[in-house]
Amino acid sequence: MNRALLRCSVQLSKQSPLLALRGLRFQSTSPYKKKYYVDPEPQIGDYPNLPQEFYEDRPQRGWWDRQNRRNFGEPVPEQIEILNMWAPTQYWSPGWKMVGKMWCGFILTLGTVFFVISKARGERPYVRAFYPYGGLKEELGGVPSRTMAKSIEEAALEVKK
């Protein structure tokens, strides 16, 4: 990383000083990391620095120890607790496109159920009660209520709905 910084600073000093104000951009030696990238670890000494490969991703057959998917004498990686078969399972998560389809399907199903329930609901098994004098409105000092004929008409309209 220090070499990349030095390379960038030398290039910027050759060009105009306005480019130096924009910031540094590191030059990488490879466009992407390999599948089993091994980060150099100076503290493990002469022990082999193995790639982080989950044992769960290995094929099921062809191992000396079939339960743990290892061969006899195979070097143990430094993070064996994370990589072995007894570690928590790696879960596959679907992409955003599939998640969006799942949400749309859920909302569509929920809306369909609510629509069917609202259309299939039966009539009320009772007639709403209308009391003369607007219930207790007039007796409690409210506005004068409608007549008995108006309350019967309103009850008939309510039943038709």
| 81-129: pLDDT as tens digits | 888 888 888 778 889 999 999 999 999 999 999 999 999 988 878 887 7
The Cα–Cα gap between 53 and 61 comes to 17
Structure confidence at residue 1 (pLDDT): 44
The Cα–Cα gap between 55 and 46 comes to 23
The Cα–Cα gap between 22 and 155 comes to 78
Among candidates 26, 23, 30, which has minimal Cα distance to 7? Answer: 26
- Is pLDDT at 77 greater than 90 in this prediction? no
Mean pLDDT of the chain: 75
Instruction: Write phi, then psi, for 70 (nearest 5 degrees).
Output: -135, 155
Rounded to two decimals, what is the model's pTM?
A: 0.38
Angle (nearest 5°) at CA 62 between 58 and 67? 65
C-alpha 132: how far from its chain's center? 58
Name the β-bridge partners of 70. Answer: 65
Which of 13-17, 39-43, 99-103 comes out lowest in average pLDDT? 13-17
Provide the token pair at 82.
């994370």
Asked if 38 and 51 count as a contact pair (C-beta separation under 8 A), the reply is yes
- Is pLDDT at 48 greater than 50 in this prediction? yes
